[in-house]
Structure formats: structure tokens, C-alpha cells
């Protein structure tokens, strides 16, 4: 039986016709499927891979851009805040300076006015004094002239007058 | 599906199987005369499982469907002395008519040897085909004779490419017919073309969109073969050139395997379990690899640099040249053995019905045999389904590794080489395990 098995086992005998047809069918199938399916599919898959990759890259780029934008916004905000603080503090300083300046000016002006007034008063007082002295002198001289004209006509009177003057001097 | 419906189909199926197989016993199973010296025509009742099984796994010129009905297949026969004979296989009437000296012997066409010129032309009635075994040079050889008009004539089988090693060799004619196996290969090719054309159309239709339908079903296969076979085996740089080849070889082998598992027409041919088919495929893969082999590859194969010339001449180069032959040889034998073993096991299990039933005498035995046989056949079919995929995968991955070795560049030789070898070893273990299992069960 075993010998029969081997001899009859004709799938082991490579039939020339079957080899011929296998080669023809396989090669024809390879070329048809290559043209019809493998090339288009390979191309489509590659294109899709590239699309997916580019979409991912695009998304990453967009995210980075957005991040950069957000960072920029943050930076601008911080800058604006600093600017505001700076402006406010500047204004505050300026205000203080202006007030102080105004105060000083006012004080200076007031002092000037006061000193001017004092000087004027002084001057006027001095002038008044001069006038007064001149007036009093004139009046004294006039009085003296009148007295002298009236009393000094007699000797007694002259004498009494001198005495009186002398007494006054004491 | 409910369990009762499932059971019903199982029973129906097993009855159908029993019927078909029973018919075939009558048709071809009667080879009980292989030791009888006298040539007689007559029916033999003894059931011969080996004969039935070997008939079923063999190629045939007609496609047997059920009972006496066979699908006729085109026949192209070429004899150097008589030229081409063409026609359809039904002109032989299952072996009852000889046409131009050709006779159908158990599904295969044979040619009369040393017949008178009158018999080599036109139609003649054949009384029967007889069979004997004779000792030739210490080997038993099967001889088939056709009885025509009371005379017996020796029959010649078609030429085979075994170089006479297995009892074949070049005979008086060549058979280029569309046999059962060729028919199934064409069917598998057409199915593949329809399937993948639909998939490719999906890419045109859904351009820039997500895949849908059959396209999304088959795309994972393409991507899997690309990412798991082509890229790791052949490398990023070269894989695109060979991806179509790997895809074609994987799907061709897979579809032939799967069609072989369908027990009824148009399946049931043992295509990838025929050495001629696997030989052709293995040689094509080897040619693809060796044809694309670069200078670096051939230098390392034929004249390994950095090795003393004496070792090169006597050891390394002969071994490498042997390797060039052994690589496709292993591809050829692995696929052939796995698929044939699977078919033989399933047919053996089916034969249990007739062995237990004592060839129709014991209905109870046949019933018991049917229950056992259906359970085991179901189990084996599941394993065969796995084997169909695994063997297609292994064939593709090994082809890719041979191509990868041939095209790899000189620089990153080490890492790519080791990676490839690792994968190959893995594949070999898988193949070996499956083969081993079959042999044990056989």
C-alpha cells in the first residue's frame, strides 16, 4: 500500500501544463492587479498619509501660532498695565510737583507783595516823617517868630523868656 | 441563527457529503484490482480510502460536481508526433470514448501507447480502464490499460517535470488543458480582480474622505502587509517597488487556499496542494529576488569578502549556491505539504464514514462514523482556515525576506539582516509547527 501511495501520489508530480498555466495566470494577475488596484491604492494611501501628516503639521503650526498670539497678548497686557501704572505715577508726581510749585510761587508772590508793601509803608512812613519834621520845624519857627515878635519888645519879657528857655533846658 | 437551524444545516451538509462521497466510490474508488494479474472489466466493491483520497487531491481534466454530473473543461493536448488536439473534456464521456488516441483515466487524460494508427484518430469506444502494478527496477509502478475492441493498450500519463524521479518524466504528450486547478486559479484571479477593483474604485470615489464599505474592509490587509511584511523585510527604501508583488502573491495563495476549503463546486480543488503550482510560485518569487539582487548581494553570495579563498571555494560558495536553490524549494514544499496534508486529513475523516459503515453494509456504523467524522472535520476545517491564512502569510513574508536580502544596501547590513533572519525563523517555526501537527495527525 505504501508503494502504491507514493506512486499514485500524483500531486507530487509537477505537471508541466499546470506549471505553465500557473505562471501565465500569476503574471497576468500581477499585471492586471498592479494596474487596476495596487498602484492606485498605494498612491491614494500615500496621498492620504501625506494629507494626514500635513494636517497634523498644520494643526501644530496653528496651535503654536495661537500660543504665540496669546503670549503676545499677555505681553501687551502686562506692558499696558505697566504703562498705566507708570502714567498714573507720573501724573501723581507731576501733580505734586505742580502743587508744590504753585505753592512756592504763591508764597514767593505773597512774600514779594508783603515785602513791597512793607517797603512802601516804610518809605511812606519815612516821607511822612520827613514832611512832619519839616512841618513841625516850620510851625515851630513860625511860633517862635510870633512869640519873639510879641514878647521881645520889652526887656523884661526878654529876660523872662530867656529864663524860661533856660529852665526848659534844664 | 438558532441552534436547531444550525444543527439542521449540519445534518443536511453531512448527508450531502455522504451522498457525494458514496457516488465517488462507485466512480473512482474501485481500485481493488491493483494486484490481480488478469485484466478484467467489472466493478469492484471494496472501498479503498487511499485511492479515493488521492483521486480527490489530484488535478483533473473535468470538474466533478455531483453524481455523474461534471463540468466540462477545455482540453488542449499536444503530442509531438500528432500535433494539437483541442476540445472539451465531456467528449471523453468519463473514459468511455477514446478521442484521437486520448482516453480519460480517473479524471485525467492519458494517451494510448503503441496503438494502431486507426485508433489514434477519431472516436472509439473504450470497454474499460484496467490497472496493474508491476515491478520495474525494484520499484512498483502502476500501469493503466485501456481495453478497446478486445485489445489492451498501455496508457501514458501526461508529461511531468519531475525528471523521472517520481515515476513521471517526459512521455508521449503534453497536457496544457484548463484543468480543475487551472479553472480554480482563474476563478481566484477573477474574484481578486473584482474585489480589488471595487476597493480601488473606493479610493477614487472617496478621495480626500474616510474609506467606506469594501474599501475599509480590505484596506487593513493592504496596510498590514505593507507595515508587517514589506517595510520590515524589504526596507523603507525599496519596499514600494515590491509591495504589488507581495500583495499579489499573498492574495493569490490565500484565495487558492480558501477555494480549496470549499467542499463543493466551484471550490474543492487542491490548487496550492499541488507541487506544480507551488513550484511555479516559488520559482517566480526566487526569480524576482535574484533578478533584483544588487552587486552587494551577489558578491556576498558568490565570493564573500574577508574569507580565505580556500574556504570560499570549497565551503562557502557551494553552500550559498545550494541556498539559492533551497530557498525556493522550502517555499514550494512548505505550502504544498501544509495544504495537501490538510486535504488528506479531511478526506480521511470523511472516509471514516465508509470504513465504519463497512462500505454501505452497516447503516449504524455509517451513522456513528458520520457523527465522529463531522465533528472532527469541522474542527479540521477551522484549523485549515487558519492554515490558509498562515501559509499565505508565510509565503509572502519569506518571499519578501528573500527580496529584502537581495536588495538591501551595503551600509545598514547588520541590523536589517538580523531583523530579517529573526522574522524568517519565526515564520519557519510557525510553518514547522503546522506541518508537524499535520504529520502527527496523518
* Three-state secondary structure string covering A101-125: HHHHHHHHHHHHHHHHHHHHHHHHH
Of A30-39, B103-112, B363-372, which one has max mean pLDDT? A30-39
Instruction: Identify whether B2 is part of a domain.
Output: no
* CB within 8 Å of A22: residues ≥ 6 apart: B182, B185, B276, B277, B280, B281
Which residue do the cell numbers 533856660 mark? A166
- The verdict on A99 touching B (C-beta cutoff 8 Å) is no
Q: Which residues of chain A lie closer than 8 angstroms to B168, CB-CB?
A: 10, 13
DSSP letter string, B159-198: PBTTTTTTS----S-EE----HHHHHHHHHHHHHHHHHHH
- The verdict on A8 touching B (C-beta cutoff 8 Å) is yes
* CB within 8 Å of A13: residues ≥ 6 apart: B160, B162, B166, B167, B168, B275, B276
Q: What pLDDT shows up at residue B328?
A: 94
Does residue B130 sit in the same domain as residue B262? no
Q: Which residues pair with B155 in a beta bridge?
A: B112
- The verdict on A21 touching B (C-beta cutoff 8 Å) is yes
DSSP, collapsed to helix, strand or coil, labels residue B15 as helix
Q: Do B244 and A19 touch (CB under 8 A)?
A: no
Q: Do A15 and B59 touch (CB under 8 A)?
A: yes
Q: What pLDDT shows up at residue A87?
A: 94
Q: Phi/psi zone of residue B75: left (φ > 0), alpha (ψ -120 to 50 degrees), beta?
A: beta
Predicted confidence band of residue B324 (pLDDT cuts 50, 70, 90): very high
**Which residue in A138, A139, A144 sits closest to A164, CA to CA?**
A144
Q: Which of B149, B174, B199 is the last residue of a domain?
A: B174
Q: Which residues of chain A lie closer than 8 angstroms to B193, CB-CB?
A: 29, 32-33, 36-37
For B137-181, the pLDDT digits (tens) are 666 677 788 888 888 888 888 888 877 677 677 888 899 999 999
DSSP, collapsed to helix, strand or coil, labels residue B442 as coil
Measured from the Cβ of residue B145, the count of other Cβ atoms closer than 10 Å reads 21
Does residue B160 sit in the same domain as residue B218? no
Instruction: Identify whether B73 is part of a domain.
Output: yes
- The verdict on B340 touching A (C-beta cutoff 8 Å) is yes
A18 vs A27: CA distance, rounded Å: 14
Q: What pLDDT shows up at residue B428?
A: 43
Q: Which residue has the higher pLDDT, B222 or B417?
A: B222
How far, in whole angstroms, is CA B180 from its chain's centroid?
A: 10
- The verdict on B236 touching A (C-beta cutoff 8 Å) is no
Does residue B158 sit in the same domain as residue B207? no
Q: Do A15 and B274 touch (CB under 8 A)?
A: yes
Please give the grid coordinates belonging to residue B360. 454501505
Does residue B148 sit in the same domain as residue B39? yes
Which residue do the cell numbers 498670539 mark? A69
- The verdict on A24 touching B (C-beta cutoff 8 Å) is no
Does residue B228 sit in the same domain as residue B109? no
B378 vs B10: CA distance, rounded Å: 10
Q: Which residues of chain A lie closer than 8 angstroms to B57, CB-CB?
A: 11
Q: Do A45 and B273 touch (CB under 8 A)?
A: no
- The verdict on A26 touching B (C-beta cutoff 8 Å) is yes
For B184-217, the pLDDT digits (tens) are 999 999 999 999 999 998 888 887 778 888 888 9
Q: Which residue has the higher pLDDT, B435 or B341?
A: B341
**Which residue in B388, B354, B384, B389 sits closest to B369, CA to CA?**
B354
Q: What pLDDT shows up at residue A165?
A: 81
On the question of pLDDT at B308 being above 50, the answer is yes
Instruction: Identify whether B75 is part of a domain.
Output: yes
Longest dimension (CA), chain B: 76
Q: What pLDDT shows up at residue A140?
A: 85
Distance from CA of B295 to the nearest CA of A (A): 26
Tally C-beta pairs within 8 A across A and B.
175
Q: Which residues pair with B134 in a beta bridge?
A: B141
DSSP, collapsed to helix, strand or coil, labels residue B43 as coil
Residue B146, burial from CB neighbour count under 10 angstroms (0-12, 13-18, 19+): buried
Which residue do the cell numbers 500535433 mark? B83
B174 vs B161: CA distance, rounded Å: 11
For B228-246, the pLDDT digits (tens) are 999 999 988 888 889 999 9
Does residue B313 sit in the same domain as residue B412? yes
Instruction: Identify whether B6 is part of a domain.
Output: no
Does residue B219 sit in the same domain as residue B111? no
A151 vs B141: CA distance, rounded Å: 207
Does residue B150 sit in the same domain as residue B196? no
Closest residue of B to A52, CA-based? B208
Radius of gyration of chain A (CA): 67
Q: Do A12 and B177 touch (CB under 8 A)?
A: no
Q: Which among B54, B159, B176 has the least Cβ separation from residue A8?
A: B54
Does residue B311 sit in the same domain as residue B419? yes
- The verdict on B275 touching A (C-beta cutoff 8 Å) is yes
Instruction: Identify whether B8 is part of a domain.
Output: no
Could you report the predicted ipTM of this complex, rounded to two decimals? 0.81
Q: Do A30 and B167 touch (CB under 8 A)?
A: no
On the question of pLDDT at B28 being above 60, the answer is no
Count the alpha carbons within 13 Å of B423 in the hemisphere toward its beta carbon.
Answer: 25
Q: Phi/psi zone of residue B132: left (φ > 0), alpha (ψ -120 to 50 degrees), beta?
A: beta
Q: Which residues pair with B98 in a beta bridge?
A: B124
B431 vs B339: CA distance, rounded Å: 11
- The verdict on A50 touching B (C-beta cutoff 8 Å) is no
Q: Which of A18, A34, A39, A47 to mutate to test the interface with B (most CBs of B within 10 A)?
A: A18
Q: To the nearest whole number, what is the mean pLDDT of chain B?
A: 80
- The verdict on B132 touching A (C-beta cutoff 8 Å) is no
B300 vs B94: CA distance, rounded Å: 55
Distance from CA of B162 to the nearest CA of A (A): 6
Q: Which of B145, B174, B203 is the last residue of a domain?
A: B174
- Cis amide bond preceding A41, omega within 30: no
Q: Which residues of chain B lie closer than 8 angstroms to A7, CB-CB?
A: 133, 139-142, 167
Does residue B192 sit in the same domain as residue B314? yes
DSSP B39: -
On the question of pLDDT at B220 being above 60, the answer is yes
Which residue do the cell numbers 500660543 mark? A67
The stretch B218-236 carries a mean pLDDT of 91
Q: Do A33 and B196 touch (CB under 8 A)?
A: yes
Q: What pLDDT shows up at residue B430?
A: 43
Q: Which residues of chain B lie closer than 8 angstroms to A54, CB-CB?
A: none
Question: What b/e readout covers B28-39, taking b as 16+ CB neighbours within 10 angstroms?
Answer: bbbbebbeeeee
Domain that includes residue B243, residue range: 183-441
Instruction: Identify whether B19 is part of a domain.
Output: no
- The verdict on A156 touching B (C-beta cutoff 8 Å) is no
DSSP B158: P
Q: Which residues of chain B lie closer than 8 angstroms to A2, CB-CB?
A: none
Q: Which of B114, B142, B174 is the last residue of a domain?
A: B174
Q: Phi/psi zone of residue B235: left (φ > 0), alpha (ψ -120 to 50 degrees), beta?
A: left
Q: Which of A4, A7, A19, A37 to mutate to test the interface with B (most CBs of B within 10 A)?
A: A37
Closest residue of A to B215, CA-based? A41
Does residue B432 sit in the same domain as residue B302? yes
Instruction: Identify whether B10 is part of a domain.
Output: no
B272 vs B155: CA distance, rounded Å: 27
Predicted confidence band of residue B85 (pLDDT cuts 50, 70, 90): confident
Instruction: Identify whether B28 is part of a domain.
Output: no
**Which residue in A25, A40, A39, A35 sits closest to B284, CA to CA?**
A25
Q: Which among B160, B200, B252 has the least Cβ separation from residue A41?
A: B200
- The verdict on A20 touching B (C-beta cutoff 8 Å) is yes
Distance from CA of B159 to the nearest CA of A (A): 7
Query: Which residues does chain A have with pLDDT short of 70?
Result: 1-9, 151-152
Predicted confidence band of residue B384 (pLDDT cuts 50, 70, 90): very high
Q: Do A8 and B142 touch (CB under 8 A)?
A: yes
B117 vs B100: CA distance, rounded Å: 10
Q: State the first-to-last Cα distance of chain B, in angstroms, to the nearest integer.
A: 34
Does residue B274 sit in the same domain as residue B382? yes
Q: Which residues of chain A lie closer than 8 angstroms to B277, CB-CB?
A: 18-19, 22
Please give the grid coordinates belonging to residue B429. 517555526
* Cβ atoms of B223 and B230 closer than 8 Å: no
**What domain count does chain B have?**
2
**Which residue in A45, A48, A50, A35 sits closest to B244, CA to CA?**
A35
Q: What pLDDT shows up at residue B3?
A: 59
- The verdict on A54 touching B (C-beta cutoff 8 Å) is no
Question: What b/e readout covers A90-101, taking b as 16+ CB neighbours within 10 angstroms?
Answer: eeeeeeeeeeee
Q: Do A18 and B193 touch (CB under 8 A)?
A: no
* Cβ atoms of B75 and B61 closer than 8 Å: yes
Amino acid at each position: 500500500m505504501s508503494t502504491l501511495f507514493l506512486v499514485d501520489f500524483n500531486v507530487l508530480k509537477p505537471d508541466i501544463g499546470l506549471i505553465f498555466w500557473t505562471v501565465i495566470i500569476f503574471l497576468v494577475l500581477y499585471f492586471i492587479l498592479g494596474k487596476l488596484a495596487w498602484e492606485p491604492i498605494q498612491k491614494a494611501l500615500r496621498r492620504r498619509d501625506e494629507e494626514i501628516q500635513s494636517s497634523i503639521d498644520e494643526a501644530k503650526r496653528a496651535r503654536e501660532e495661537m500660543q504665540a498670539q496669546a503670549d503676545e497678548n499677555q505681553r501687551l497686557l502686562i506692558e499696558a498695565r505697566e504703562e498705566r501704572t507708570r502714567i498714573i505715577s507720573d501724573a501723581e508726581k507731576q501733580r505734586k510737583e505742580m502743587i508744590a510749585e504753585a505753592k512756592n510761587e504763591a508764597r514767593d508772590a505773597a512774600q514779594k507783595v508783603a515785602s513791597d508793601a512793607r517797603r512802601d509803608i516804610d518809605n511812606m512812613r519815612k516821607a511822612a516823617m520827613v514832611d512832619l519834621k519839616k512841618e513841625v520845624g516850620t510851625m515851630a519857627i513860625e511860633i517862635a517868630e510870633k512869640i519873639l515878635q510879641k514878647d521881645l519888645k520889652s526887656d523884661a519879657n526878654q529876660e523872662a523868656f530867656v529864663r524860661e528857655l533856660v529852665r526848659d533846658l534844664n | 441563527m438558532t441552534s436547531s437551524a444550525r444543527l439542521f444545516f449540519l445534518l443536511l451538509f453531512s448527508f450531502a457529503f455522504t451522498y457525494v462521497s458514496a457516488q465517488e466510490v462507485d466512480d473512482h474508488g474501485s481500485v481493488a484490482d491493483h494486484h490481480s494479474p488478469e485484466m478484467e472489466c467489472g466493478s469492484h466493491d471494496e472501498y479503498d480510502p487511499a485511492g479515493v483520497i488521492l483521486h480527490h487531491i489530484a488535478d483533473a481534466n473535468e470538474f466533478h460536481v455531483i453524481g455523474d454530473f461534471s463540468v466540462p473543461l477545455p482540453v488542449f493536448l499536444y503530442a509531438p508526433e500528432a500535433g494539437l488536439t483541442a476540445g472539451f473534456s465531456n467528449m471523453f464521456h468519463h473514459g468511455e470514448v477514446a478521442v484521437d488516441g486520448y482516453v480519460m483515466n480517473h479524471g485525467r487524460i492519458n494517451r494510448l501507447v503503441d496503438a494502431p494508427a486507426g485508433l489514434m484518430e477519431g472516436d472509439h469506444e473504450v470497454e474499460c480502464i484496467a490497472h496493474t502494478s508491476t515491478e520495474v527496477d525494484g520499484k512498483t509502478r502502476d500501469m493503466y490499460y485501456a481495453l478497446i475492441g478486445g485489445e489492451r493498450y498501455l496508457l501514458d500519463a501526461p508529461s511531468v517535470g519531475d525528471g523521472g524521479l517520481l515515476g513521471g518524466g517526459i512521455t508521449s504528450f503534453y497536457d496544457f488543458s484548463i484543468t480543475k486547478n487551472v479553472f480554480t486559479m482563474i476563478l481566484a484571479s477573477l474574484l481578486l480582480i473584482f474585489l480589488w477593483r471595487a476597493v480601488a474604485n473606493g479610493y477614487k470615489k472617496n478621495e480626500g474622505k474616510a474609506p467606506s464599505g469594501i474599501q475599509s474592509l480590505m484596506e487593513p490587509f493592504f496596510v498590514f502587509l505593507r507595515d508587517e511584511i514589506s517595510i520590515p523585510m524589504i526596507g523603507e527604501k525599496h519596499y514600494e517597488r515590491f509591495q504589488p508583488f507581495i500583495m499579489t502573491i499573498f492574495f493569490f495563495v490565500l484565495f487558492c487556499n480558501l477555494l480549496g476549503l470549499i467542499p463543493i463546486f466551484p471550490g474543492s480543488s487542491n490548487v496550492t496542494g499541488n507541487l506544480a503550482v507551488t513550484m511555479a510560485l516559488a520559482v517566480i518569487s526566487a526569480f524576482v529576488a535574484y533578478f533584483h539582487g544588487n552587486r552587494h548581494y551577489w558578491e556576498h553570495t558568490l565570493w564573500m569578502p574577508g574569507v580565505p579563498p580556500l574556504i570560499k571555494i570549497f565551503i562557502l560558495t557551494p553552500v550559498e549556491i545550494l541556498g539559492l536553490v533551497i530557498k525556493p524549494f522550502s517555499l514550494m514544499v512548505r505550502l504544498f505539504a501544509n495544504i495537501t496534508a490538510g486535504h488528506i486529513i479531511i478526506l480521511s475523516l470523511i472516509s471514516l464514514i465508509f470504513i465504519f459503515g463497512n462500505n454501505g453494509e452497516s447503516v449504524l456504523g455509517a451513522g456513528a462514523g458520520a457523527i465522529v467524522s463531522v465533528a472532527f472535520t469541522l474542527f479540521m476545517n477551522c484549523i485549515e482556515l487558519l492554515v490558509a491564512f498562515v501559509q499565505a502569510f508565510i509565503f509572502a513574508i519569506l518571499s519578501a525576506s528573500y527580496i529584502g536580502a537581495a536588495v538591501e544596501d551595503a551600509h545598514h547590513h547588520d541590523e536589517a539582516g538580523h531583523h530579517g533572519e529573526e522574522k524568517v525563523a519565526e515564520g519557519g517555526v510557525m510553518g514547522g509547527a503546522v506541518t508537524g501537527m499535520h504529520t502527527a495527525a496523518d
